[in-house]
Chain A
Amino acid sequence: MNRVLRKIASTLLAAAGALLLVSVFLDLVPGDPVDAILGEQAMEADREALRKALHLDRSVWVRTAYFVRDALGLDLRSSVPPFQDRVFDRIAQAFPRTALLALTSLAFALTIALPLGVAAALRPRTVVDMLASAFAVLGAALPRIWIGPLFILAFAIHLDWLPVSGFESARSLVLPTATLGLALAAFLARMIRASLLDTLGEDFVRTARAKGLHPTRVLFLHAFPSALLPVLTVVGLQLGALLGGAVVTEKVFDYPGMGSLLLQAIDRRDYNMVRACVLAFTFSYLLVNLLTDLAYQAVDPRTRERN
């Protein structure tokens, strides 16, 4: 129990730190933030309104407190004219789409990595293993900004099977999912292979085999649970790369999720929206990591409290 509480506390601390960093960071921009956001030719009324919206007439700490209050109270407003857009509404609309993309990518990655990693581990140093290794090495090297356009060229333009971009039907999800999930698939295939190979050499697996158990039973009931535990933690951490990669992927496919919202806000210099998007990404990442960690403790007998 102690460990669980400690983990929750450190997550909250990291979240608070991230919130503070994101709030204060705008003050690092050299010059007047009003000029930076609205440009020097902006109307005086807009400049005044922005000054009020960002609380620039107050000290850094009061300003930060206001931002934190508005952000946590979900009442943050856009920082470009007409200063009325409720940031939370836009995020509530975009967030589920990015979450959906992240989940399909994770499912895609596991669907490829599990059979590949297991096959490679069961037949080390064979053709299957070499193919799996080649996939792992290549998949990690291919940048999303390149395979995205490649997929579009091949499957949307030449073969005309799938839409080029947008978010109309389930078919629109296929190419972004493959683009976002490929690197993770490569990483997980390598990880699953290594972990399963290690486990298959353990004494308890040899014992199970020696008892005369069926090889399938040994693999699925004895080796698998132990081999997949380390993979579970990695999946949680890799979600960070997945969320970061979503920004790039959404731009390639013009997918209207959090990444597109963030890039749009950067383009319009809507810093309140930018900060809110970054925080939404960060908090969801922290939450997933916390949940993975707790799940890990729930299933791993070694981390359970003895009492």
Chain B
Amino acid sequence: MKTIIKLTRYGIISAARSRWILGYTAFFFLASEGLMRFGGDTSKAVASLLNVVLLLIPLVSIVIGTMTVYNNRDFTELLLSQPLKRGSLFAGQYLGLALPLTAAYLLGVGVPLLARMGSTDSVTNAGLVLMLLASGTALTHIFTALALVVATRYDDRAFGLGAALLLWLMAAALYDGIMLAVIWTFRDYPLEMPVLAMSILNPIDLARTLVMLKFDVAALMGYTGAVFEKFFGTALGMSAAASALLFWVLAPFGLGMKIFAKKDF
């Protein structure tokens, strides 16, 4: 446990020293501040931020994650020569990455949005902002864990980075393409439940659906919206969504840990 805390602290300090995390925070801050200032409306700002969050967080998390692991390779090897548990090392590495990224996101987006949540804003808007923050946090954790898997599995930097980008592309775009193809192929059938299931399986789609359902957009979706709202409105649906996200953190984390434990450095 001590090892984990120490390594996490090391990760946070080294992240704070590097410029990318500042740039990352500043970007989110400027984007949300600008949208709030010029758009003026919380729900509109969230709508615009949603795309940024869904694209950028996975991309940055997975790229920064892989790069950091590769850059720290020597340090990791040094630590491995010490009498430390490999599991603790891995967990410390993970937290040292995921926590600064999450903090950067929460500060950058959360502060401008929550600071401007005046009395004029409804409870719905508060729910919207919280959902955006929560799903962004989940995505950060998921893609950091995936980054660790990739970087631990492949020693070749270029290959690892390529694999990371491919993973991101899969989740961000290709999966939706498959979904569209399925929807189009089976368009003569009632597809509400299959689409619901498919959108739960991909964390980016799930995050987008969760935030979108907090908008009025559910009305736009007619019957589909009603099905979705009914599902995610229930305790069962919410816990299904939460456990899907949790699964996407834990599964890669566990896998990465397993690879890390057996890896011959």
Q: Do A and B come from one complex?
A: no
Give residues in B with beta carbon < 8 Å to A: none
Interface residues of A (CB under 8 A from B): none
